[in-house]
Amino acid sequence: MRYRQTFIPTLREDPTEAEVISHKLLLRAGMMRQVARGVYDFLPLGLRVVRKVENIVREEMNRAGAQEILMPAVCPAELWQESGRWDVYGRELLRIKDRHDRDFCFGPTHEEVVTDIVRREVRSYRDLPLNLYQIQTKFRDEVRPRFGLMRGREFIMKDAYSFHTDLEDCQREYRNMYDAYRRIFDRCGLTYRPVEADTGAIGGSLSHEFQVLADSGEDALVSCDSCDYAANVEKAELVPPAAPLATHGAALTPVETPDQRTIEEVSIFLGEPPERFVKTLLYETDTGAVVAALVRGDHELSEPKLKNLLGCQWVALAAEETVHKATGAPTGFAGPLQIEARLISDQTLRGATGLVCGANERDTHLTGLDIARDLPSLQFADLRRAAVGDTCPRCERGRFTAHRGIEVGQTFYLGTKYSQAMNATYLDASGAQRPMEMGCYGIGITRTVAAAIEQHHDDAGIVWPKPLAPADLHIVPVNWNDATTRKAAEDIYAELQQTGTDVLFDDREERPGVKFKDADLLGVPLRATIGGKSLARGVIELKVRADGAMTEVPADRAVEAIQNALSNSEAT
């Protein structure tokens, strides 16, 4: 690949619209451009990286026995109406009409379309299992598209769907996909963790997110410091405390707390530590219910846990008006006694005494709350978000540590949700008709590209993991106008091309400084610098992008030395 013939519009300055490093560097390295909010062009080098990820994914999916298909990007509304998602998917679904005024959507995911294929063609248990996947452009009209490829509106996803006769076989395939995902992200050269994920109302532990670890990640994770349990903080299971909070043995007493609303404010005002407080959080749900969720003052509520417990589509903090109706007081003074809402408490509060809570009255709190005495019929559940130092639910020995992650993939057991709604059945060996069990497995191809940069960059630019780099080697002839340099560089380039090495050959008449800067920015793992002075000494210089290590190698054995360096793990 000759630089002059390749469209690489690099930028000297940081583009102002970019908030995260991957977005900045992809724009600066001339690998992509924005067309509309969350919608991008991929330019030649950027597309090469996208293709590298796709190929790794494709090879491993095929190896795992899945079969590639291609479904339409534009999907008829009828299928989405059958599954019921046309009405519940909300505004992320880009809805469009054709010239006959018929409804379509631009697919954000393809459960409906693939289930339709399978229900029409598969009749018998003999035709199962089946795992079909595609690599395709998706559209999700995200409320806040941001961070470049990390959260776009249009993006490329690999989505696979598997169909089975029974749960056992579905679990076997789930494992198979889980293993394939590990191979994929290992091969991409990324540091990641598979974490247990929120499974929505279905429950169970059959969902994992594959999280690339990076400080800029949107997801908060915890992992055990002594076993391999890891989970999203919202989902991580928590064990109930060994003993409830020690008692003060006090009676319920109203205290004046003028204008002190938050736990921090009241805590300072009353001189009680936050863990002695009960936070009463009022939520509204899609079914119109009002729920008061109680958590300890120093804990955070996990909304997904609450949502799953209630079995509803969504929960949202109640509006001021609803709070007033349920408590008779403004926001900031809600408490569990005499509240008009369903009460649910986090398990940590079971049996606790001597607590402080809101009094459902302006400028007033109650001290001396005894959960068992004052709220005898309270329901308890695991409702709080995990935090650093919490005990691991698996080994019950280790403690949680925290990480930030970028979700690059997710595996999911779907059960018969779609097959039942859309009548995807098969005849079992005894001739009975049964719904198929399903799993689905997604990988964000373009998000993986961004995640690789978030994890692998330095001040000078991108430092591609070797398997994803747009080229294996970047050749920089220092002075293009020097005939000896040019000839030596051209010879090496020609010979490497014959061996199938992917080379970016900087044949521009630019100043050396400009070429080196661009090379660092583009992040190709190995650079070969060919200069007149070193040639005169019979050597060229190799530099590893990742650690800056430089070596001189004999010019007449350059190709061999380059090939050795490329197969050497230091360049990865």
| Least Å from the CB of residue 412 to Mg ion | 8
Q: What are the two backbone dihedrals, phi and then psi, of residue 226, each rounded to the nearest 5 degrees?
A: -130, -20
SS3 322: helix
Q: Which is nearer to Mg ion, 195 or 341 (CB)?
A: 195
How many alpha carbons lie under 13 Å from residue 435 in its C-beta half-sphere?
13
Q: Which is nearer to ligand ATP, 151 or 305 (CB)?
A: 151
| Least Å from the CB of residue 61 to ligand ATP | 14
Q: How far is CA 238 from CA 241, 329, 385, 400, in A?
A: 9, 33, 9, 10
Nearest to 393 by CA among 233, 243, 232, 224: 224
408 binds, among Mg ion, ligand ATP, none (CB under 5 to 8 A by kind): ligand ATP
164 binds, among Mg ion, ligand ATP, none (CB under 5 to 8 A by kind): none
| Least Å from the CB of residue 153 to ligand ATP | 7
The CA-based angle 284-287-292, given to 5 degrees, is 30
- DSSP state, residue 7: -
Distance CA 408, CA 418 (A): 24
Q: Which is nearer to ligand ATP, 143 or 483 (CB)?
A: 143
Tokens of 30: 């001339």
Q: Which is nearer to ligand ATP, 110 or 119 (CB)?
A: 110
Strands 154-164 and 130-139 come out as antiparallel
Q: Which is nearer to ligand ATP, 199 or 410 (CB)?
A: 410
Cis omega (within 30 of 0) on the bond before 274?
Answer: no
Distance CA 90, CA 571 (A): 46
Q: Which is nearer to ligand ATP, 449 or 561 (CB)?
A: 449
The contact set with Mg ion (CB under 5 A) reads 410
279 binds, among ligand ATP, Mg ion, none (CB under 5 to 8 A by kind): none
The contact set with ligand ATP (CB under 6 A) reads 109, 140, 142, 151-152, 155, 157, 407-410, 442, 444, 446-447
Q: Which is nearer to Mg ion, 205 or 497 (CB)?
A: 205
Q: Which is nearer to ligand ATP, 23 or 276 (CB)?
A: 23
| Least Å from the CB of residue 119 to ligand ATP | 22
| Least Å from the CB of residue 532 to ligand ATP | 47
155 binds, among ligand ATP, Mg ion, none (CB under 5 to 8 A by kind): ligand ATP
| Least Å from the CB of residue 437 to ligand ATP | 19
| Least Å from the CB of residue 409 to ligand ATP | 5
Tokens of 214: 């990076």
**HEC profile of 47-90:** HHHHHHHHHHHHHHHHHCCCEECCCCCEEEHHHHHHHCHHHHCH
- 529, 478 Cβ separation under 8 angstroms: yes
Q: Which is nearer to Mg ion, 280 or 410 (CB)?
A: 410
- 248-276 in b/e burial notation, b at 16+ Cβ within 10 A? eeeeeeeeebeebbebeebbeebebebeb
| Least Å from the CB of residue 150 to ligand ATP | 6
284 binds, among ligand ATP, Mg ion, none (CB under 5 to 8 A by kind): none
Distance CA 196, CA 235 (A): 7
Distance CA 283, CA 271 (A): 29
| Least Å from the CB of residue 137 to ligand ATP | 11
List beta partners, residue 441: 160, 411
| Least Å from the CB of residue 334 to ligand ATP | 30
Q: Which is nearer to Mg ion, 329 or 443 (CB)?
A: 443
Q: Which is nearer to Mg ion, 159 or 370 (CB)?
A: 159
Distance CA 403, CA 219 (A): 8
| Least Å from the CB of residue 140 to ligand ATP | 5
What's the one-letter identity of residue 184?
A: I
Residue showing the smallest CB distance to ligand ATP in the complex: 444
Nearest to 40 by CA among 15, 6, 4: 15
Nearest to 22 by CA among 13, 31, 12: 31
230 binds, among Mg ion, ligand ATP, none (CB under 5 to 8 A by kind): none
